Amino acid sequence: MKNYVLLVFLNFFAISSFAQILEFKFYNSNEKEYTTTTFNKQLETEYKSDFSERIILLETTSLNDSLYLKQKNILTSLDTETHQLIFITACSTEKFIHGYHTSIKVAKDIIGTNPKFRIRILNTRADIIFESHNVISVRKIKEILKK
């Protein structure tokens, strides 16, 4: 009986530990459309080279939100090429046009009932590997990316 309970527990834990894939459309500053789950393949086709970009998604209800602005400022010190990263802004009230961004509708879907701010890090397959409602440091981001 103990073995059975342990087996059920382990199966439940294994099933619940799968990462959640976050698939959505986003755009660059020239309004070229991409999808999180096929982004690297799209780049490989476009540039005839291998890509393994990861995504840092900044979700906000306002482009003037203090947490969003603080996190965005912290990210400027990260070398995106070295760490193979792109930053996407998802704002549910205003259109962001200075880099990768979602539409307002997609931002509303992603954010849902989320409080004002959330940062998520997605791996190359668009699995969510980290999320926080607080600003995180460059050191913490680097730690997450090493996993």
pLDDT attached to residue 6: 40
Domain boundaries, the chain: 20-146
Identify the pLDDT of residue 113: 85
What is d(CA 121, CA 119) in angstroms, rounded to the nearest whole number?
A: 7
CATH topology for 20-146? Glutaredoxin (3.40.30)
| DSSP for 81-131, written as a single string | HHHTEEEEEEESSS---SSSB--HHHHHHHHTT--SEEEEEE-TT-BEEEE
Q: Supply 30's token pair.
A: 């020239």
Does position 12 have pLDDT exceeding 80, yes or no? no
pLDDT of residue 18: 55
| 46-105 residue pLDDT tens | 999 999 999 999 999 999 999 999 999 999 999 999 999 999 999 999 999 899 999 999
What would the pLDDT profile of 113-125 be if each residue is shown by its tens digit?
A: 877 899 999 999 9
User: What is the pLDDT, as a whole number, of residue 1?
Assistant: 54
- The pLDDT of residue 16: 40
- pLDDT: is 147 or 112 the higher one? 112
